[in-house]
Amino acid sequence: MAKKPPAVIGVLTEPTPPTWWQAHRHQVALIAGIFLGWQLCGVNSGPADHDHHGPTGPAHSTAPSATPTNTAKENHR
């Protein structure tokens, strides 16, 4: 008596190709992370010269003296 062929349990098929989001979601997350990091850390961490109220200097200016001032080293001589 001849043997029976093996029973077919399932059919192997190729998986469906991934959608655009499934294939590129890691790249979208990378770009979003870089942009948010730049916004949170890079934009507002510059020098504090972004004063919109004008320069931070003395409230009044003094007139230059008529005689030159000597430094402490020159007075020591």
What pLDDT score does 23 carry?
96
Half-sphere exposure for 43 (CA within 13 Å, toward CB): 7
Residue 48, token pair as written in the block: 């504090």
* Confidence at residue 2, expressed as pLDDT on a 0 to 100 scale: 75
Which amino acid is located at 10 in the chain?
G
Distance CA 31, CA 37 (A): 10
Q: What is the pLDDT of residues 22-43, one digit of tens each?
A: 999 999 999 999 999 999 987 6
User: Which pLDDT value is given to residue 48?
Assistant: 56
| Cα(50)–Cα(18) distance, integer angstroms | 48
**Position with higher pLDDT, 55 vs 2:** 2
Mean pLDDT across the chain, nearest whole number?
A: 77
Alpha-carbon distance of 3 to 38, in angstroms, equals 70
User: For the chain, what percent of residues have pLDDT higher than 70?
Assistant: 53
